[in-house]
């Protein structure tokens, strides 16, 4: 296996949205929980903020945390640093095993609590009243729990999302196409929009204890000052996500459920999205989910859904990474159909997109598709070089060499044998 590849300097794109939209999203992200319950007041940490690491740590934790802290300081202006004394840190990151986490919170990849608390303390009483975000008056401490025995990319993704939540937004919104604060899990790292939200969170114009109305009054001049570009961009129509669509898409995306029930939920979500007249990321996600769940039973139906999702996501550069997540599905169909030039073309188009989004797992998949297609065309030397690249990125994006080799074999097996192709 080649050495693990890693990402260099980030290249985030500034938000291409009006300040009116950003302000509306800020309020919904910061003053509402994922279950729809409103928070009574705005809260944040008083600066300076410290972050400490503890538990079953691997070197990637320190490496990715330091990289994240550098971004938070540069891009969001947050006064934050790592400390070697986690017992007194503002935010503590505790590394545990995935088995420990899933025994207690089976639906979570990682999570954050609004107190300083060890894993042992939490598991002794998971219903403590002080773990409720609605009770906060000010953020004095937070603890993030992350499994250590997963891929480097999964650890990094958890650091980004959960530390950002500890610092600011406590909600996720499916309508956001340019943010990690979206449960579609298309974004791996904090975006330019996310950094803008965090910069606003720690602006002196805001303070702990402000009501929703007080925050709303302060935001327009605040955003005009920190994001003058957003004053010149037109505001898009606002269409909230109805609860029945959220419930349906979350059911469809869930693990451990019977496939027929998940498929029905996916079709329900798509019906609602069409009825709502959406042409945004919510329609794209509904189509992508239908395609993924229909694929096993009806390949043509799945492919049609993928092509329509690609059209939806292809309307804006903000949804390029979403489009790439659709394109990998279409590339697999191209391999099965023996369309090797099409598979290579799709891979070449989307590898730079996955790299910019810092999604090594997706990059590895596209490289494996390309290598399989090159092998099928008899271009063995080129294929070998691409296979090695795919393994290097796979060692960051996937959990083990065994998983990488299994994934490579799975993708290579999509290519028809000469007998199948005649």
Enter the pTM of the model: 0.94
Question: For 44-67, what is the mean pLDDT?
Answer: 97
389 and 323 share a domain?
A: yes
* Number of domains within the chain: 2
- Cβ partners under 8 Å of residue 395, min gap 6: 1, 2, 3, 4, 5, 152, 401, 404
173 and 38 share a domain?
A: yes
Q: Is the pLDDT of residue 206 over 60?
A: yes
Q: Is the pLDDT of residue 122 over 90?
A: yes
What pLDDT sits at residue 421? 47
148 and 278 share a domain?
A: no
303 and 189 share a domain?
A: no
Q: What percent of the chain has pLDDT over 90?
A: 89
User: 168-187 pLDDT, tens per residue?
Assistant: 999 999 999 999 999 898 99
The b-or-e profile of 223-234 (16+ CB within 10 A means b, else e) is beebbeebeebe
**Residue 233 domain-assigned (yes or no):** no
Q: What percent of the chain has pLDDT over 70?
A: 97
What CATH number should be reported for the domain holding residue 136?
3.40.390.10
271 and 204 share a domain?
A: no
Range of the domain at 254: 243-421
250 and 209 share a domain?
A: no
Distance CA 350, CA 289 (A): 20
194 and 282 share a domain?
A: no
Distance CA 8, CA 393 (A): 13
256 and 223 share a domain?
A: no
What pLDDT sits at residue 422? 44
How would residue 417 be classed by pLDDT, with cut points 50, 70 and 90?
Answer: confident
377 and 337 share a domain?
A: yes
195 and 253 share a domain?
A: no
**Residue 288 domain-assigned (yes or no):** yes
What CATH number should be reported for the domain holding residue 363?
1.25.40.10
**Terminal-to-terminal C-alpha distance of the chain:** 35
């Amino acid at each position: 296996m080649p050495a693990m590849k890693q990402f260099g300097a980030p290249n985030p794109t500034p938000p291409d949205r009006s300040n009116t939209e950003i302000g509306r999203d800020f309020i919904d992200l910061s003053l509402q929980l994922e279950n729809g319950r409103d928070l009574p007041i705005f809260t944040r940490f008083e600066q300076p903020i410290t972050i400490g690491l503890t538990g079953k740590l691997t070197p990637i934790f320190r490496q990715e945390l330091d990289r994240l802290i550098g971004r938070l300081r540069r891009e969001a202006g947050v006064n934050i640093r790592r400390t070697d004394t986690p017992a007194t840190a503002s935010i503590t990151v505790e590394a545990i095993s995935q088995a420990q986490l899933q025994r207690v919170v089976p639906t979570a990849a990682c999570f954050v609590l609004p107190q300083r608390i060890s894993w042992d303390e939490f598991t002794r009483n998971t219903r403590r009243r002080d773990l409720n975000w609605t009770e906060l008056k000010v953020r004095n401490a937070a603890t993030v729990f992350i499994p250590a025995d997963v891929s480097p990319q999964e650890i990094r993704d958890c650091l980004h999302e959960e530390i950002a939540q500890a610092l600011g937004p406590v909600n996720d919104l499916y309508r956001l196409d340019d943010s990690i604060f979206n449960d579609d899990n298309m974004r791996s790292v904090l975006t330019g929009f996310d950094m803008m939200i965090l910069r606003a969170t720690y602006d002196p114009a805001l303070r702990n204890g402000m009501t929703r109305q007080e925050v709303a009054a302060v935001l327009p001049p605040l955003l005009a000052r920190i994001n003058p570009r957003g004053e010149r961009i037109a505001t898009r129509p606002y269409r909230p996500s109805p609860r029945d669509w959220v419930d349906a898409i979350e059911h469809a995306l869930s693990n451990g459920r019977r496939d027929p029930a998940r498929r029905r939920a996916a079709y329900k979500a798509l019906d609602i999205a069409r009825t709502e007249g959406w042409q945004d990321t919510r329609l794209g996600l509904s189509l992508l989910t239908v395609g993924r769940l229909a694929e096993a039973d009806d390949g043509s139906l799945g492919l049609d859904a993928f092509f329509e999702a690609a059209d939806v996501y292809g309307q804006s550069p903000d949804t390029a990474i979403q489009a790439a997540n659709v394109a990998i599905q279409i590339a697999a169909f191209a391999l099965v159909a023996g369309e090797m030039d099409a598979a290579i073309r799709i891979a070449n188009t989307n590898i730079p997109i996955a790299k910019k989004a810092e999604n090594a797992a997706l990059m590895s998949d596209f490289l494996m598709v390309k290598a399989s297609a090159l092998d099928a065309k008899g271009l063995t030397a080129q294929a070998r070089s691409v296979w090695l690249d795919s393994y290097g990125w796979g060692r960051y994006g996937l959990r083990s060499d065994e998983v990488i080799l299994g994934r490579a074999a799975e993708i290579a097996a999509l290519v028809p044998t000469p007998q199948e192709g005649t």
